[in-house]
Chain A
Amino acid sequence: MSLTTSLDPQIPMRELLRLYPGAQRALFRRYHIGGCASCGFQPEETLAGVCARNNALPVGEVIDHILTSHDQDQKMQIAPVELAAALKDDAGTKLVDIRTREEFDAVHIEGAIFFTQELMQEILMKWDRRALIAVIDHHGARSMDAAAYFAGHGFEQVKSLRGGIDAWSQEVDASLPRYDLE
């Protein structure tokens, strides 16, 4: 069943992202739109306009894809206990921590790698695109965008740690202190 009647193709991208926060991740994962400055869009552009200048993407299909973005976001998350099990079972699992240096130095999951621009180059060029990669932030919000960025570059099993390191402290390792930011 087509869902195209529930979203106007002339909707500005700013409004689209307000209504569907996962839309940008969905657009990049499948169509490579909105990931970086090269493939970005302007807030006032319409969805139809963005589709038109990206190889004339069929706007109806794109809308259907956006409307399922919430389900796609859920599939891109991994629960703390699930990740803990994966770390035990698969030595190739990678943890990428995208928080600030101050947060990382204060507390991090054992084996996590602090994200830098140099690491990003290494990931894009050398890491196995089939390996499980978990992206970690404080509460699991920004890590969704980060995971979608890598998914859009062909990483098949990149996940966002649901609830971030805060949830890990509560559900997996209570010895890892929780924290606030000032």
Chain B
Amino acid sequence: MSEDLQQRIHDAIANPKNIGEMENADSVGTVGSADCGDMLRMWVKFKEQDGKKVIDRATFQTFGCETAIAVASVATELIAGKTVEEALSMSGEDLSAPLGPLPPMKIHCAQLVEGALRSALAPTAAPTAPAPAPVPQATTLFDQLHAASSPERKVKVVLKVPNP
């Protein structure tokens, strides 16, 4: 990742916008799973403006990496004031545009945000393309970091008796 992009991501997450659950949201969309590390949930609130239903504000929560946080932060600002149709017409590239072009390995983060937005705005819409088959990956550092918090992991702690 270029230092320039890294700096823009740092700038975005230093003062992230619209983070957290929205209690009175009109719609909620989720993609991924917190258990596998790539989860993004988006809450959307609508309002009437000039006779049109537009997005009043959107918030998000993610357990993805910092690029996903940065993209979600700028995307929630971009979609405010747009109609559902206008927001749905935006690609992951559009939603991450304020950060500049993402390297190939980070495009997934923008797609995560796009997926959550589509899930929130058109939850019943058919996907535009079949979901790709899951590709087995090597264990990541993120997996190791979260290994102990897995709900399946139950351990019994047996304290050792100190030597006399």
Contacts and interface: CB of A to CB of B under 8 A. Distances in A.
Interface of A: 13-14, 17, 24-25, 28, 32-43, 53-55, 98-103, 106-107, 115-117, 120-121, 124-125, 137, 142, 145-146, 148-149, 152-154, 174, 177-182
A179 B141 contact: no
A13 B19 CA distance: 36
Contacts of A100: 148-149, 153, 155
12 contacts: A35-B140, A36-B140, A43-B138, A54-B105, A99-B148, A107-B157, A107-B159, A125-B13, A125-B14, A137-B148, A178-B160, A182-B156
A37 B69 contact: no
Nearest to B34: A117
Contact of A36 (B16, B19, B64): B64
Contacts of B109: 38
Contact of B140 (A37, A99, A116, A153): A37
Given A35-B65, A181-B156, A182-B156, 6 more contacts: A40-B137, A98-B145, A99-B148, A101-B149, A107-B159, A125-B19
A181 B155 contact: yes
Contact of A38 (B6, B19, B67, B136): B67
Contacts of A117: 34, 63, 146, 149
B141 to A, nearest CB: 4
B67 to A, nearest CB: 7
